[in-house]
Amino acid sequence: DIQMTQSPSSLSASVGDRVTITCRASQSISSYLNWYQQKPGKAPNLLIYGASSLQSGVPSRFSGSGSGTDFTLTISSLQPEDFATYYCQQSYSAPLYTFGQGTKLEI
């Protein structure tokens, strides 16, 4: 099974900050990496797919990069509504997708 490891597990930041979250795969997954945002009591929302493609309707302050085993999600200028938990997900071993453990972004 492919294991996904995110860092950090939690992160404190302020409105306007640039933030980067990292995800590492236990083996190469090419660019089959997706990022989600989840707010309390809500279902996850797809932000980035294919490592760097912005899902329709997602603000351009979100961006993703990486390939192989190392990936990053960057929020260029944090907005109040961005404080949430973020998950990476590999889709290389489709349909057995696996998630990272999550990164909680706090004020």
Partner 1 sequence: EVQLVESGGGLVQPGGSLRLSCAASGFDFSSYEMNWVRQAPGKGLEWISYSSSSGITIYYADSVKGRFTISRDNAKNSLYLQMNSLRAEDTAVYYCARPQAGYSGYDYWGQGTLVTVSS
Residues at the site binding partner 1, with contacts judged by CB under 8 A: 32, 34, 36, 38, 42-46, 49-50, 53, 55, 87, 89, 91-92, 94-102
Cβ at position 58, least distance to partner 1 in Å: 11
Cβ at position 30, least distance to partner 1 in Å: 10
Q: Is 4 helix (H, G, I), strand (E, B) or coil?
A: strand
If the CB atoms of residues 17 and 38 are measured against partner 1, the closer one turns out to be 38
Cβ at position 70, least distance to partner 1 in Å: 19
If the CB atoms of residues 17 and 30 are measured against partner 1, the closer one turns out to be 30
CA dihedral 44, 2, 10, 35 (to 10 degrees): -40
If the CB atoms of residues 13 and 54 are measured against partner 1, the closer one turns out to be 54
Q: How far apart are CA 37 and CA 43, in angstroms?
A: 9
Which of these, 37, 89, 54, 20, lies nearest to 7 by C-alpha position?
20
Place of tokens 């200028």: 77
